[in-house]
């Protein structure tokens, strides 16, 4: 029997935005590039490639070469404050680190972004014990109020040994031993420096460091009715295109004619294509790697016949338990943690779908009726 109280909870909100962009726009108009750059922690990439019975070598290399990242176990946050670490890594490259074995709604979580911001979401006990300035989480309404946000800017001038702010932060992290298992990758500004230097640094300090690589899986559908986009004035509805991409990614069989409201029908107009490859790649991807992948997909598309490969799609999924998702915005909890985007790649344009959770606080308790 269903709990009768469940119906009293409001449904979580999310937003799907859609926009079209010409490849010939000036750089300042590349809002799609800002979407890629402002989505720091990416754990899965999904590609749909028509007329691709076998994975192209360039694509395999792009997704598996130089995409290594590191799993560092039981790493104290205090290590990020070390003067040696700040000078050698934080100030000389782009660093992405996020706690990977903690749940956002019940555990303490942490992330470090390339701009030098350390983001923490803490329970009430840890927050009070830490005694650093923070704020109540803005995206949840619950009783008791027990989730707090702490941010530390490690690139500001006052964050260095001898300064009061640095002393306050390091003293707090010394007294409260905050440790996490991190996914971490570092892109040095100097191309002559090996990115694995950061792994050696932590290994030499005695921490367990494991190199991880992305993994690939794929499936092929021999015949698919693919939505028509931008051809002789014909264009499938954007919502139907987005739904079609999701169905192909999940392996949902589409019906030619719908018989119930629950069935998903083939979008119209559509064209028959062969050997659609649905490729799933899991790992830890930086915005720079995804921008490079997009450029390679564009070049490959130009080399293919338009009738065989009308367009491609790339969907990027964010980490579901990272403290932030878009830019430096606080990530909401498991009421709705949607944070993904889909790029539909055509020869003359790009179409962007961005899925984000509501910025409105989500109520996690049943609102009482005082009139009863």
Whether 368 maps to a domain, the answer reads: no
Q: What is the rounded average pLDDT of the residues 341-349?
A: 94
The verdict on residue 369 lying in a domain is no
Of residues 353 and 24, more confidence is placed in: 353
Residue 337 has pLDDT above 70, yes or no: no
Handedness of CA 123, 127, 128, 129 (dihedral sign): positive
In a domain, 372, yes or no: no
Boundary (domain end) residue, out of 188, 212, 236:
212
- Tally of domains in the chain: 2
pLDDT in tens, 131-145: 898 888 876 555 556
The answer to whether position 371 is within a domain reads no
**DSSP H helical segments within the chain, as ranges?**
31-37, 57-64, 83-85, 124-130, 164-175, 197-204, 238-250, 287-302
pLDDT tens for each residue of 244-288:
999 898 888 776 665 554 556 678 888 999 999 999 999 999 999
Residue 304 has pLDDT above 60, yes or no: yes
**Of 157, 177, 212, the domain-final residue:** 212
Same domain for 116 and 198, yes or no, is yes
The reply to whether 179 and 302 lie within a common domain is no
**Residue carrying the six token digits 């992948």:** 293
- Reported as a single tens digit per residue, the pLDDT across 30-70 is 688 899 999 999 999 999 999 999 889 989 998 988 889 99
* 239 plus 308 within the same structural domain: yes
- At residue 167, what are phi and psi to the nearest 5 degrees? -65, -40
Token pair of 60 as six digits: 């395999």
Q: Which spans in 133-224 are helix H?
A: 164-175, 197-204
What does the pLDDT average to over 337-341?
83
Question: What is the span of the domain harbouring residue 351?
Answer: 4-66+215-362
- Mean pLDDT (the chain) is 86
């Amino acid at each position: 029997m269903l709990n009768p109280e469940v119906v009293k909870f409001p449904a979580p909100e999310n937003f799907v935005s859609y926009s079209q962009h010409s490849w010939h726009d000036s750089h300042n108009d590349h809002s799609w590039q800002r979407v890629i750059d402002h989505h720091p922690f990416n754990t899965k990439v999904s590609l749909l490639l028509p007329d691709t019975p076998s994975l192209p070598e360039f694509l395999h290399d792009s997704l598996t070469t130089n995409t290594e990242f590191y799993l560092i176990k039981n790493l104290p946050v205090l290590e990020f404050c070390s003067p040696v670490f700040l000078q050698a890594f934080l100030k000389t490259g782009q660093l992405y680190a996020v706690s990977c074995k903690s749940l956002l709604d019940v555990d303490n979580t942490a992330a470090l972004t390339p701009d030098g911001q350390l983001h923490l979401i803490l329970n009430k006990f840890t927050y009070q014990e830490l005694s650093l300035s923070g704020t109540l989480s803005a995206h949840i309404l619950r009783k008791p109020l027990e989730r707090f946000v702490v941010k530390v800017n490690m690139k500001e001038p006052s964050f260095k040994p001898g300064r009061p702010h640095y002393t306050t932060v390091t003293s707090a992290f010394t007294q409260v031993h905050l440790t996490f298992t991190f996914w971490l990758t570092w892109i040095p500004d100097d191309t002559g420096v090996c990115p694995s230097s950061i792994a050696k640094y932590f290994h030499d300090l005695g921490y367990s460091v494991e190199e991880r690589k992305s993994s690939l899986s794929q499936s092929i559908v021999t015949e698919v009715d693919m939505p028509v986009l931008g051809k002789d004035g014909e264009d499938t509805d954007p919502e139907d295109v987005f739904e079609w991409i999701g169905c192909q990614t999940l392996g949902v069989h589409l019906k030619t004619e719908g018989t119930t409201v629950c069935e998903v029908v083939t979008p119209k107009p559509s064209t028959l294509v062969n050997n659609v490859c649905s490729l799933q790649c899991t790992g830890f991807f930086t915005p720079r790697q995804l921008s490079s992948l997009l450029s390679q997909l564009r070049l490959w598309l130009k080399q293919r016949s338009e009738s065989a490969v009308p367009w491609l799609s790339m969907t990027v999924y964010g980490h579901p338990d990272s403290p932030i998702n878009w830019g430096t915005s606080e990530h909401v909890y498991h009421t709705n943690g949607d944070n993904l985007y889909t790029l539909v790649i055509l020869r003359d344009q790009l179409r962007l779908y961005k899925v984000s959770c509501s910025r409105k606080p989500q109520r996690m308790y049943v609102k009482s009726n005082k009139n009863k």
